[in-house]
């Protein structure tokens, strides 16, 4: 069936060379599409009737139509001389009896003098019983045709995207065609294809805007397809039109000599951009290649825009060719020197500035972190407690981290004087030349309750003023783990003097050992009985008993200590301490009492007697645990055999026997059968006093000037009476803390 319908969309009528901008009623757009001369909408706004754009606003959204037709314009390109329209799709459909069901004529184009069908289009036909034909005219020549056939045989495979004659065919459009007709038909009226292809479809479409799909055979839903038309001005060549008064190539434009079709086309000359058919601000204007980056200047040169072009000039202080393909710009000698000085100076200032910023940031970050740790570790709470103490001379001092870093030479390893399970101890010298021991703990308390306990302990321990307890001077809270500051004791630990230290054990006589045991017992007795809040040390051992230059004992390291509520006699805690010194009952029940310190002190007495370590796997199996082995030897009457050989005894003095029996009572398994530390201290005081009275060179209280230095040390805590030396040390003579307020209970440090 042949379908031929001619749509005349324009007539040849030249309305002159009117510029759209000369008429204020000319539209510059219609909907989303720009309208530029030679196209126009409105009287006098277009070059000729072929360029008329009708803007239809009846449906609400403005729609541009080609001339006075129903063909929608989708885009106008002045630069490419192209017009994109939405061309109708024709179809030819049949019923099962072979009769025509519906049809729509194929899109046809009447003669347009200044428009041609672009070769960027293709002619497409879809169907399984379809042939299509294209017939066009070129100038005075007619009958220029082409066509294609589309079938779907039983052995043919229909593929998506393939338009090679099976279900879809396509053919190129002839050049410079002004008008055309499209014919669409069928051999068998699709009678054998009704189950999947009852129709034939045909259309012109811009290349790349259509991709065949097998679903198109059953129902091709598109009613319009985008199609391109080429356009030019009039029917004269550039040379012929240039002499005409209505020649449209305006300022800074030129006629395109390469165009071979009918009419002529205008383009802006190089260096200019815009609409070559107008003379107003939309016409060919100078392109600023420098601003747009469209230049080939060397990086040492700067671009200078000139009308229609640009130049590349070397910067001040440079000379040469500024173009990239030239020799380039070379810096003058003076410029090189200035640049070097400038770059160096800038680099130095930049480095200083960056360093200053880094240090400032680091300092602020450090200050923020210190403030965070200070609050986290209870610093504000501690300050409030100190300020509320009424200005006591024994209050804890809060150190800054800089003070302690300076005191320890930034915690130099040479300042380490001890390491233990609870941390590392450094020797430090404060700004007032006071020597201190600074302890960095390994564990940090984080909960609010633990922070409150830590603050309480610092306050209480700093108030302890017993001559045989190492004084807690203060703390630093600006680190993640708080630092504790104690008085410095110069002569090492008791362990140093009785274990594995050459040249010390032989000079460490029994007299000195007994006095150290007595002083240690007095200190523990004070902590248990006379402190404002009772304190259980929980880690009594020779390592935690320090000695000054006169061998005076100082109990130290309260890292595992516990404060005991006044109305309690025991606490349930996680077992802490050192193997060999741990109370067996505490180990089994987790119930901590002051008798746990008594057991540990009993082990210390045995070490003073034997000179051996509390636990050693280098000894025979039966001797590994010193406490058990000592008790067994005492029971078997072999005390003399286990005493320290450095004591150089020919027999066992009564004082050693008394101390051994006291140690046996301290080491009993059941805590109830052990004496209290107060009882232990009183008994040791009596033994020491008895030994002093029976000493060969103590005769009826010789004048102090006639005694030896050791006599002074041994008798300094005893009064001379008619009956000899009698102890003047009792619980009532300890440095009293009774005036200090009782603080809330907390775990020890």
- The residues assigned a catalytic role are 539
Reduce the secondary structure of 499-535 to three states and give it as a string. Answer: CCCCCCHHHCCHHHHHHHHHHHHHHHHHHHHCCCCCE
Among 51, 173, 50, 69, smallest CA distance to 118 is for 173
Bridge partners for 476 per DSSP: 399, 483
CB count, 10 Å around CB of 288?
A: 15
Among 498, 511, 493, 496, smallest CA distance to 606 is for 498
Where do we find the tokens 């200044």? 114
Among 275, 298, 267, smallest CA distance to 76 is for 275
CA angle 689, 695, 700 (to 5 degrees): 80
For residue 393, give both structure tokens.
């001379």
CA angle 503, 662, 523 (to 5 degrees): 70
Among 639, 563, 637, 557, smallest CA distance to 600 is for 557
For residue 275, give both structure tokens.
């609409």
- Are 440 and 423 within 8 A, CB to CB? yes
Reduce the secondary structure of 530-554 to three states and give it as a string. Answer: CCCCCEECCCCCHHHEEECCCCCEE
CA torsion sign for 94, 97, 98, 103 is negative
Bridge partners for 129 per DSSP: 151
Bridge partners for 625 per DSSP: 615
For residue 660, give both structure tokens.
């051994």
Q: Are strands 301-306 and 309-314 parallel, antiparallel or unpaired?
A: antiparallel
Residues 6+ apart with CB under 8 A from 253: 266, 267, 268, 269, 272, 276, 277, 283, 284
Radius of gyration of the chain measured on its C-alpha atoms: 55
- Are 9 and 69 within 8 A, CB to CB? yes
Cα–Cα distance, 558 to 422 (Å, whole number): 10
Q: Are strands 553-555 and 562-563 parallel, antiparallel or unpaired?
A: unpaired
How many Å from the N-terminal Cα to the C-terminal Cα in the chain?
108
Cα–Cα distance list, 85 to 53, 105, 118, 225 (Å): 12, 17, 12, 8
CA torsion sign for 456, 458, 463, 468 is positive
- Are 424 and 712 within 8 A, CB to CB? no
Q: How many residues does the chain have?
A: 749
E strand or H helix at 16: none
- In sequence order, what E strands does 78-177 have? 82-88, 90-94, 100-104, 115-117, 121-126, 129-138, 141-151, 168-172
User: Is 363 strand, coil or helix?
Assistant: helix
For residue 222, give both structure tokens.
């598109």
CA angle 480, 484, 487 (to 5 degrees): 160
User: Is 346 strand, coil or helix?
Assistant: helix
Where do we find the tokens 């019923």? 95
Cα 119 → chain centroid: 58
Reduce the secondary structure of 674-715 to three states and give it as a string. Answer: CCCHHHHHHHHHHHHHHHHHCCCCCCCCCCHHHCCHHHHHHH
Among 15, 8, 115, 6, smallest CA distance to 69 is for 8
236 has binding-site annotation: no
Annotated binding-site members for ATP: 440
């Amino acid at each position: 069936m042949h379908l031929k319908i001619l749509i005349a969309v324009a007539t040849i009528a030249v309305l002159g060379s009117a510029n759209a901008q000369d008429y204020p009623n000319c539209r510059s757009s219609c909907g989303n599409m720009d309208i530029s001369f030679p196209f126009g909408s409105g009287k006098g706004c277009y070059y000729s009737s072929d360029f008329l754009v009708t803007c239809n606003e009846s449906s609400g959204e403005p729609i541009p139509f080609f001339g006075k037709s129903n063909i929608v314009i989708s885009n106008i390109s002045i630069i490419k001389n192209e017009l994109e329209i939405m061309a109708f799709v024709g179809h030819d459909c049949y019923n099962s009896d072979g009769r025509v069901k519906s049809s729509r004529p194929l899109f046809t184009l009447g003669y347009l003098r200044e428009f041609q069908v672009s070769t960027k289009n293709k002619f497409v036909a879809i169907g399984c019983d379809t042939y299509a034909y294209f017939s066009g005219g070129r100038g005075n020549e007619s009958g220029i045709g082409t066509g294609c056939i589309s079938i779907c045989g039983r052995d043919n495979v229909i593929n998506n995207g393939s338009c090679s004659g099976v279900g879809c065919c396509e053919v190129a459009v002839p050049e410079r065609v002004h008008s055309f007709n499209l014919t669409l038909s069928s051999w068998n009226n699709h009678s054998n294809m009704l189950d999947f292809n009852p129709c034939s479809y045909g259309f012109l479409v811009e290349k790349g805007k259509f991709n065949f799909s097998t679903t198109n055979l059953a129902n091709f839903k598109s009613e319009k397809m985008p199609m391109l038309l080429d356009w030019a001005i009039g029917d004269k060549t550039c040379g012929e039109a240039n002499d005409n008064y209505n020649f449209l190539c305006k300022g800074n434009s030129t006629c395109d000599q390469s165009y071979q079709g009918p009419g002529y086309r205008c383009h802006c000359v190089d260096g200019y951009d815009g609409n070559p058919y107008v003379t107003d601000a939309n016409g060919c204007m100078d392109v600023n290649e420098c601003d747009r980056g469209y230049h080939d200047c060397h990086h040492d040169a700067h671009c200078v825009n000139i009308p229609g072009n640009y130049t590349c000039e070397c910067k001040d202080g440079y000379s040469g060719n500024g173009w990239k393909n030239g020799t380039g710009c070379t810096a003058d000698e003076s410029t090189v020197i200035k640049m070097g000085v400038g770059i160096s100076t800038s680099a130095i200032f930049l480095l200083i500035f960056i360093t200053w910023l880094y240090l400032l940031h680091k300092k602020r970050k450090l200050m923020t972190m210190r403030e965070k740790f200070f609050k986290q570790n209870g610093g504000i709470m501690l300050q409030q407690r100190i300020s509320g103490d009424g200005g006591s001379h024994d209050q804890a001092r809060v150190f800054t981290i800089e003070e302690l870093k300076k005191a320890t030479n930034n915690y130099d390893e040479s300042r380490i004087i001890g390491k233990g399970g609870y941390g590392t101890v450094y020797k430090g010298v404060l700004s007032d030349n006071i020597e201190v021991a600074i302890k960095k703990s390994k564990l940090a308390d984080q909960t609010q309750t633990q922070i409150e306990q830590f603050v309480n302990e610092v306050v209480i321990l700093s108030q302890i003023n017993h001559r045989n307890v190492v004084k807690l001077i203060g703390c630093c809270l600006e680190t993640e783990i708080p630092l504790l500051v104690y008085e410095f004791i110069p002569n090492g630990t008791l362990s140093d003097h009785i274990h594995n230290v050459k040249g010390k054990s032989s000079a460490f006589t029994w007299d000195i050992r007994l006095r150290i045991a007595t002083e240690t017992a007095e200190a523990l007795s004070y902590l248990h009985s006379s402190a404002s809040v009772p304190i259980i040390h929980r880690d009594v051992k020779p390592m935690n008993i320090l000695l000054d230059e006169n061998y005076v004992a100082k109990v130290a390291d309260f890292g595992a200590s516990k404060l005991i509520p006044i109305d309690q006699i025991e606490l349930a805690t996680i077992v802490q301490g050192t193997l060999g010194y741990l109370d067996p009952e505490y180990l089994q029940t987790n119930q901590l009492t002051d008798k746990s310190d008594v057991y540990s002190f009993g082990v210390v007495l045995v070490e003073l007697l034997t000179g051996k370590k509390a636990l050693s796997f280098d000894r025979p199996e039966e001797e590994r645990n010193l406490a058990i082995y000592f008790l067994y030897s005492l029971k078997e009457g072999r005390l003399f055999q286990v005493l320290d050989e450095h004591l150089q005894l020919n027999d066992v003095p009564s004082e050693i026997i008394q101390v051994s029996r006291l140690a046996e009572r301290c080491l009993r398994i059941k805590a109830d059968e052990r004496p209290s530390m107060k009882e232990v201290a009183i008994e040791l005081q009596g033994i020491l006093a008895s030994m002093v009275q029976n000493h060969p060179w103590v005769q009826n209280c010789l004048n102090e000037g006639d005694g030896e230095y050791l006599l002074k040390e041994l008798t300094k805590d005893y009064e001379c009476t008619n009956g000899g030396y009698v102890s003047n040390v009792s619980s009532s003579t300890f440095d009293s803390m009774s005036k200090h307020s009782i603080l809330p209970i907390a775990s020890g440090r």
